[in-house]
Amino acid sequence: MPLKQISLFLPNKPGQLANFFEFLMNNKIYIRSLTVAETEDYGLLLLLVNPFDKCIALLEDNDYLHSVTEVIAVKLSDNITQLYNIAKTLGNHDVNIEYMYTFAEKTSEISTMTVLRLDDNEKGISVLKEHGFEVVEDFK
């Protein structure tokens, strides 16, 4: 099952990111992964958060410009060749990677993961599982 990623637009001005992080902290929203890109006028944040539904309600109640995209996460070993293997496996099965980023998470141990936006998430999940990759179903 794909994960739900929040794409959030913030004005590209000093202090906006800190204010948004403070908003999340005050509302007990935990960031599981984050990447930030920028344009001249806006910062684009791609977030996996917990709890998701609470975060969406807060964003809507506070008029934050956002959208939701389905992505998948795959656990990685420490070896860079696994990124190649994921890309090669998906490509061999005609699944296109629209974008990807990686992050590390510490539970009982540190896990490195990659987040992928695919042109066909369901097919991508099936292909990756069939080839022995560990697809993450949920973040708790």
Q: Which pLDDT value is given to residue 61?
A: 97
Q: How many domains does the chain have?
A: 2
Whether residue 8 is found in the same domain as residue 64: yes
| 100 lies in some domain | yes
Tens digits of residue pLDDT in 31-70: 999 999 888 888 999 999 999 999 999 999 999 999 999 9
Tokens of 62: 């506070």
Going through the chain in order, the beta strands assigned E by DSSP cover: 3-11, 30-38, 42-50, 65-76, 97-106, 110-118, 135-136
- Domain limit, last residue, from 46, 70, 94: 70
CA distance 133 to 140: 20
Bridge-based pairing of strands 97-106 and 42-50 is unpaired
Tens digits of residue pLDDT in 91-124: 999 999 999 998 887 666 767 899 999 999 999 9
Q: Which pLDDT value is given to residue 139?
A: 65
| 140 lies in some domain | no
Its domain, for residue 120, covers: 71-135
Tens digits of residue pLDDT in 18-38: 999 999 999 999 999 999 988
